Structure 1
């Protein structure tokens, strides 16, 4: 990545305070010490975690409108709302976690931040402590930004995998994939590959829903009734789309080299391949938002919090990508 940084800082949220988020965020001081970053989280939690890990990380309190400190990690203090012990999640901290996300997103919307990066949260903690309807960062940020549809895409190296549906029970997936929803998803994916990744004519490989992409209707009709008509319409509008292709043969080097992104129909169709290819270094990016948001590809790993055994590779990669995209946004 180049050292050409955006003019405004990138916000980094700490995730669940009892998880590995604070551990990972502390590593940014040494790995990206010249980058314009603002950490959003509980400063006491960060101080305590640094001591627990034996790290010396200078933290400086920061507020919007202030200059970034020299030689220290800027922290916009956002209280956790409850005493925090590494590895021991509590629903009492859920509101504080959502406050972190809200501050970062609103800061992106009002121009305070150039982009946002998110450390992992625990859905069950937020559901139990603050919002029973919470299904994840992606949906929460979409509602906050006032957009009807966003697209979840993960990247690992040159492999990019987007999802037509995200956090749904498998039995609900077929009904959620309609001609209209698929066209909206592909339009967002196509547009952001152009705008965020500077690809003039994105080439997108679209997976089928059923085994063997339906086998001509013998193993399901969604390909014939939904996916193929949606693709045909978008091709007439100039999009370069291949598919629907069987998921079990799509991730071969020859096909991937000919495409810029893959669209999978559901979460566990595309992401196991991507995470196998780049676990620990993969990045989650939300397309369709009016700002740049990247995230780690893993969960809170409560059992590793405070042990020094958590890998910061994904957070560092996500932060580098946010800085890179924001620098030429």
Structure 2
């Protein structure tokens, strides 16, 4: 790679905050689906949603059973569950109740809430999902555990429940600006979800990746430096100094929490920024190369093709046809 330049990125003034960057790069769009009220003994089986799924309990107790997950999860009022969308799941009053197919109940009404079980309302829950672009699926899903249970006792859960409830109210409202309000409330919900992940990501149960690194007090300062100025020719010595560690200790710890060495991570982050710029507009490849610290377009193109598998211009053309 040629000597890096220090040209700032022509993207957003928010670069440097990895959570804001994630929202920007992943194209994350959070949307609510339907609410459920229930009473008595009930259990509903749902197909795999195919997207990152959020479930918040507003009232009562709801059990979550996910295909392939050994233990059912009890969700009390105020709890939030976030889980991968590649498996079927069941919501129930008790995990021992035989489930019925939820789709006929969903199709039977167009109301924001549908009902299961007996008359009355022992429990109420709201579901939603998060749509991600191709980069987002790679960047975010690989950093998250298959299932996360956010207890009502955490700082993030009450806000997430309120946002889901308020979003659903806006969706049902015919007040001026309701659609705009619902869309932006849903985005705030996703911010709360990411904050909850960050709070819990110190656990060794989390996959290696940028989220665990951001939660690691020793590694996070170096990670923020790379995110804040990706065009800078960072050295292992500079990054280790920011972490107040020796080069060897820092390199090992960084790899333990992210899965890759520091400078490999930096290269990968630059390529994600490049993908974002190539998808968004017509910024010349030479300008993108300079903004990411490459001394020539050819050096950048070679690095991009080596990492992504195609040349930058071919990537841009392909992204426009999707």
- Shorter-chain TM-score above 0.5: no
Pick the structure with greater CA Rg: 2
TM-score (norm 2): 0.28
